[in-house]
């Protein structure tokens, strides 16, 4: 069936890593293979002044980091590849957590010099929570780094996942000669080249091929034979089911900056990675092969093109076929919407599409109808699960520095918090606005974007708040509690009451004194919006 063939062509995945591990650079090299760009520039190279293709916001270009998820699509050897390049910086972890709800698999990038870092561990926790299949790319092999066997042990111990080497490095740093591709018994010799598209593979008859010492030297050939013998004995053959069930991660070694090891990573990914999988909704499990369309919004981005003040909702298609200009039911609002110009993306570049299938990510022009977690269907009441909202770590009050721009500030902070960049809590009386974030950098981004995209100047004053807690349980007990503690009650963006606990001690005391109320520091976005 043509419809099922379309679904089977699709591979939708996120690239995740600790900051500076080379994630955005790897994304660009994958786009080279897709023919979407002709050359790639390093994110932090002084010699190359242009910023990375997938980092299109002005502040990303200034700081050399990704602070928003970018969505890109390209075709490669009959497959349609949808890449979601996520922020690596820990301050923007929530954006990454939400993005992981919209993908079917993940490529994890690890710096061979630094090994497994803190943010990598947190991201893998989310992947394990969802049983998301992971392929690991150990990057920067052209630098002096850790021993590859030590890196494999570190991945297994710190990330709690079995590993299976698919390629093996021959030395590292200045002595890096290339990689041996274990499944195909071929050799890929290293050549420093930041813009080339394809690697040159040399077929050898295994590690005992007599031409191997001529290609890499006798000493290196001897070491490689020992390493491969050990790998064969320990790891054996890759079991694809173990990978799909997120028990085992295939591992590749290479250098994203030099486009080395990327081709075999991409081709093995396309062979192993799952096609679109089912999605859990509160009502039932939704299969991608179902005839009727359904999808959910996992990200909103305002001013993707500042000149046109546009607002784009990113929608993951979960089932059926999405069609341009066809009316679909907005479940939360209970009304039908149609979309004249749905888009696919290459960073800021947009292309109108006529249709999209399960696994695709489409951008919908939005006039303010959408919030993160919203569902579109052909009429069925569905609420997709797995999109988390966590209590912020840092709270500050928003102070307007220009009363004449109050409307611009109000509009700007509403739109930017609806993107998921930060959380907004309102407190009465006085309409005080508290902004909650994971880290300090988000306040810098908010301030920059409010001024440059909305013309509104503000400052943020720290407030003594430990956690924001959503309340559940006995409704009478919640009403009484809110009357008694009204100075600690605020309202979130969905108008849900939230208890703002001042310290860890006061939160613990409040929980002990109000056993009929559940104080939750994490809530499903869809649950909060209902």
**156 and 9 both lie in a single domain:** yes
Residue 214 lies in a domain: no
Distance of CA 293 to the CA centre of its chain: 24
Model pLDDT, residue 43: 34
Structure token pair of residue 484:
């008694």
Cα first-last separation, the chain: 37
Helix/strand/coil for 231: helix
**301 and 407 both lie in a single domain:** no
Instruction: Please determine, for residue 262, whether its predicted confidence score (pLDDT) is greater than 60.
Output: yes
Residue 219 lies in a domain: no
**312 and 395 both lie in a single domain:** no
Name which residue leads in pLDDT, 223 or 415: 223
**503 lies in which domain range?**
388-529
Closest by alpha carbon to 34, among 89, 64, 74?
Answer: 74
Q: What 3 state SS string does 359-395 have?
A: CCEEEEECCCCCCCCCEEECCCCCCECCCEEECCCEE
Render pLDDT for 148-191 as a digit per residue (tens, 0 to 9). Answer: 999 999 999 999 999 999 999 998 888 888 898 898 888 888 87
Model pLDDT, residue 476: 95
Render pLDDT for 433-474 as a digit per residue (tens, 0 to 9). Answer: 999 987 787 898 889 889 988 999 999 999 999 999 999 999
Looking at the structure of the chain, the number of domains it has is: 3
Q: Which of 327, 355, 377 is the last residue of a domain?
A: 377
Closest by alpha carbon to 14, among 124, 155, 161, 140?
Answer: 124
Q: How confident is the model at residue 259 (pLDDT cuts 50, 70, 90)?
A: confident
CATH number for the domain that contains residue 46: 3.40.50.300
Render pLDDT for 376-417 as a digit per residue (tens, 0 to 9). Answer: 999 999 999 877 777 888 999 999 999 999 999 999 998 888
Model pLDDT, residue 196: 54
Model pLDDT, residue 296: 95
Model pLDDT, residue 83: 86
Q: Which of 358, 377, 396 is the last residue of a domain?
A: 377
Model pLDDT, residue 302: 65
Residue 206 lies in a domain: no
Helix/strand/coil for 286: strand
Q: What is the mean pLDDT of residues 234-245?
A: 92
Instruction: Please determine, for residue 247, whether its predicted confidence score (pLDDT) is greater than 90.
Output: yes
What is the percent of the chain where pLDDT is above 70? 85
Q: Is the pTM of this model over 0.85?
A: no
Residue 519 lies in a domain: yes
Residue 186 lies in a domain: no
Render pLDDT for 80-128 as a digit per residue (tens, 0 to 9). Answer: 888 887 764 454 566 777 788 889 999 999 999 999 988 788 788 878 8
Query: By 3-state DSSP, what share of the chain in percent is helix, strand and coil, each rounded to 5?
Result: 30, 30, 40
- DSSP strand pairing (201-203 vs 186-189): antiparallel
Helix/strand/coil for 378: coil
**421 and 344 both lie in a single domain:** no
CATH number for the domain that contains residue 393: 3.30.70.3280
**251 and 294 both lie in a single domain:** no
Q: Which of 223, 255, 272 is the last residue of a domain?
A: 272
**366 and 443 both lie in a single domain:** no
Worst-scoring range by mean pLDDT, 136-140, 233-237, 496-500? 233-237
Instruction: Please determine, for residue 308, whether its predicted confidence score (pLDDT) is greater than 60.
Output: no
Residue 220 lies in a domain: no
Dihedrals phi, psi of 11, to nearest 5 degrees: -130, 115
Instruction: Please determine, for residue 530, whether its predicted confidence score (pLDDT) is greater than 60.
Output: no
Q: Which helix (H) or strand (E) holds 458?
A: strand 458-462
Q: How confident is the model at residue 38 (pLDDT cuts 50, 70, 90)?
A: low
**400 and 255 both lie in a single domain:** no
What is the percent of the chain where pLDDT is above 90? 46
**255 and 113 both lie in a single domain:** yes
Residue 230 lies in a domain: no
Q: What angle do CA 457, 96, 92 make, to 5 degrees?
A: 35
**341 and 365 both lie in a single domain:** yes
Residue 202 lies in a domain: no
- DSSP strand pairing (328-330 vs 335-337): antiparallel
Render pLDDT for 344-364 as a digit per residue (tens, 0 to 9). Answer: 765 445 678 889 999 998 989
**313 and 165 both lie in a single domain:** no
**295 and 437 both lie in a single domain:** no
Q: What is the mean pLDDT of residues 368-378?
A: 89
Burial of 335 (0-12, 13-18, 19+ CB in 10 A): exposed
**365 and 485 both lie in a single domain:** no
What is the average pLDDT score of the chain?
Answer: 83
């Amino acid at each position: 069936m043509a419809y099922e063939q379309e679904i089977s062509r699709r591979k939708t995945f996120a690239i995740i890593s600790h900051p500076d591990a080379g994630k955005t650079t790897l994304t660009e090299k994958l786009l080279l293979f897709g023919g979407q760009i002709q050359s790639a520039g390093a994110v932090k190279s002084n010699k190359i002044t242009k910023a990375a293709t997938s980092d299109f916001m002005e502040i990303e270009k200034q700081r050399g980091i990704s602070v928003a998820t970018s969505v890109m699509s390209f075709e490669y050897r009959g497959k349609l590849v949808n890449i979601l390049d996520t922020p690596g910086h820990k301050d923007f972890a929530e954006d990454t957590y939400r993005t992981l709800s919209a993908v079917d698999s993940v490529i994890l990038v690890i710096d061979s010099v630094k090994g497994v870092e803190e943010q990598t561990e947190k991201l893998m926790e989310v992947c394990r929570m969802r049983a998301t299949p992971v392929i690991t790319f150990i990057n920067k092999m052209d630098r002096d780094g850790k021993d590859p066997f030590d890196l494999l042990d570190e991945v297994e111990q710190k990330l709690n996942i079995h590993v299976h080497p698919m390629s093996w490095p021959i030395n590292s740093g200045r002595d890096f000669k290339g990689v041996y591709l274990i499944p195909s018994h071929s050799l890929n010799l290293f050549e420093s080249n930041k813009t080339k598209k394809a690697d040159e593979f040399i077929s050898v008859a295994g590690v005992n091929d007599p031409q191997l010492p001529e290609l890499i030297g006798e000493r290196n050939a001897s070491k490689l034979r020992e390493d491969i013998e050990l790998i064969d004995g320990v790891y054996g053959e890759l079991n694809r089911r173990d990978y799909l069930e997120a028990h085992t991660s295939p591992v590749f070694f290479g250098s994203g900056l030099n486009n080395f090891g990327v081709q075999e990573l991409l081709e093995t990914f396309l062979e192993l990675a799952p096609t679109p999988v089912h999605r859990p909704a509160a009502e039932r499990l939704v299969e991608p092969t179902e005839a009727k369309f359904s999808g959910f919004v996992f990200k909103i981005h305002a001013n993707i093109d500042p000149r046109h003040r546009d607002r784009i909702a990113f929608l993951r298609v979960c089932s059926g076929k999405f069609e341009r200009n066809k009316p679909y039911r907005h479940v939360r609002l209970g009304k039908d919407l149609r979309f004249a110009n749905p888009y696919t993306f290459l960073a800021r570049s947009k292309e109108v599409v006529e249709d999209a299938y399960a696994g695709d990510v489409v951008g919908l022009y939005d006039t303010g109808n959408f919030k993160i977690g919203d569902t579109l269907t052909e009429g069925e009441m569905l609420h997709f699960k797995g999109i988390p909202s966590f209590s912020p770590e840092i709270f500050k009050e928003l102070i307007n520095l220009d009363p004449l721009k109050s409307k611009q500030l109000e509009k700007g902070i509403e739109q930017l918090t609806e993107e998921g960049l930060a959380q907004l809590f309102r407190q009465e009386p006085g309409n005080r606005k508290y902004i909650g974030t994971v880290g300090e950098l988000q306040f810098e981004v908010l301030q920059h974007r409010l001024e440059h995209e909305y013309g509104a100047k503000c400052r943020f004053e720290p407030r003594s708040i430990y956690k924001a807690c959503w309340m559940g349980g006995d409704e009478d007990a919640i009403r009484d509690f809110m009357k008694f503690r009204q100075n600690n009650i605020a309202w979130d963006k969905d108008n849900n009451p939230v208890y703002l606990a001042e310290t860890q001690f006061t939160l613990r005391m409040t929980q002990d004194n109000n056993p009929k109320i559940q104080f939750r520091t994490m809530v499903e976005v869809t649950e909060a919006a209902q």
